[in-house]
Amino acid sequence: MQTKLITAVQAADGQYKIAPDELLQAAEYLHRGQLVVFPTETVYGIGALVDQPAALREIFTVKGRPQDNPLILHVDSYAMLQRYVQPLNAEEKLLVDNFMPGPVTFILRRNQQVNDIITAGLDTVGIRMPGNVIARSLITACGAGIAAPSANISGKPSPTESKAVIDDFWQKVACIIDGGDSAFGVESTILDLSRKPYHILRPGAVSAAQFNAILQANGYVAEVVEQHDYYLPNLKAADVPKAPGMKYRHYAPEAEVKILRGSPAEMAKNLIKLVSGKKATAATAKIAVFVSRDLYAALPGAVQKQIDFPYFFEDYACNLKQLPHEELVESGFSSLDKKAFQAANGLFQALRQADRDQAALILVEAVENMGIAQAYMNRLTKAETK
């Protein structure tokens, strides 16, 4: 299969945009029942139109994705969302109005317009309105929702740059839209509104505190709770998960992944031990680290020389100009640790780069498990070699 590459241009306002004729060309591929990879503010997605069952099945085939792992349905507006879900109550609509468009997926009660292939037969659907202009424009051009999981081979790190999707899907899909680096670098927060209390099934850039602040400000009970059980051990083999990321191992590179936990001194001590142990058993093995510059600077020079590929949190930063509700995003992030935000933004790129560099081992610094750091630790925990 020939793959058409469409490259977006970054405008002065920070937004990436593509020419109208190229946008229509990408939409035409989708209408023909073909797959298109497109950027979002979280990670890149690989999409098919909601009413194209053969194309929806093809997503699972090209990704190697289990059939019981639901897809997320992307819409361009509240009006389009209403076409696919049961009527929302006032509380649900309040949250949708305040967090769409943006890096949030809501689990809602679906209607018959949504194919069982998307939901794995469940009576709910994960649905979101991306903040990325290209993504929403593509949906608008199609006139229908686009079902899309992350554009990676299942189990591997999610793609936050076009290089990653080209690596995985060149000549496997009809079209790839290069829209620059993703703004957040981790997938959307998934909030289950189909039952109370409302549970966050997958942490992301938006936290329970942010949801609850909106609820309380409008006279509702703060009933959004975090889901800390990353592996959901009570989910049995025959059970269908409500949302992506709940059942299967994700985000894992070919390299062995080990997490550095504890105080800075404890992390440095463990890093030295792990590097020494790896070199003792495989002297030529290449070692990568994804850490803060402060942690790296605390290492003895002799240990630094044994690290082949140092990747640093500080080399990654989010472009807030790409994001909707900028004032809400900035206020939500102002209290977060800057290091955690950079770490979340760069994790998937670092894991993929370790594989490109043919590292045998990558050591990754843990960060305090709150705010966006919770999303970072969720992905990192799943990537770690057990």
Express each pLDDT in 57-106 by its tens digit: 999 999 998 887 899 999 999 999 999 999 999 999 999 999 999 999 99
d(CA 110, CA 119): 9
Which pLDDT value is given to residue 374? Answer: 87
pLDDT (tens digit, 9 = 90+) per residue, 333-380? 443 467 888 888 899 999 999 999 999 999 999 998 677 888 899 889
Of the candidates 107, 121, 105, which has an alpha carbon nearest to the alpha carbon of residue 45? 105
Name the pLDDT band for 130 (thresholds 50, 70, 90): very high
Name the pLDDT band for 240 (thresholds 50, 70, 90): low
Residues 314-341 have a mean pLDDT of 56
Does the pLDDT of residue 274 top 90, yes or no? yes
Name the pLDDT band for 331 (thresholds 50, 70, 90): very low
Between 320 and 52, residue with greater pLDDT: 52
Which pLDDT value is given to residue 185? Answer: 85
48 pairs with which residues across the strands?
Answer: 147
Residue whose token pair is 């790409």? 322
Residue whose token pair is 């290069």? 178
Across the chain, mean pLDDT equals: 88
Name the pLDDT band for 155 (thresholds 50, 70, 90): confident
Helices 338-356 and 372-383: angle between axes, nearest 10 degrees:
30
d(CA 53, CA 44): 21
Does the pLDDT of residue 213 top 70, yes or no? yes
Collapse the DSSP code of 355 into the 3-class scheme (helix H, G, I; strand E, B; otherwise coil) and give the result.
helix
Which pLDDT value is given to residue 248? Answer: 52
Which pLDDT value is given to residue 105? Answer: 97
CB-CB contact of 111 with 138 (8 Å): no
pLDDT (tens digit, 9 = 90+) per residue, 287-311? 999 999 999 999 999 999 999 999 9
Prediction pTM value: 0.89
Which pLDDT value is given to residue 241? Answer: 57
Which pLDDT value is given to residue 303? Answer: 96
d(CA 382, CA 70): 18
Residues 165-193 have a mean pLDDT of 93
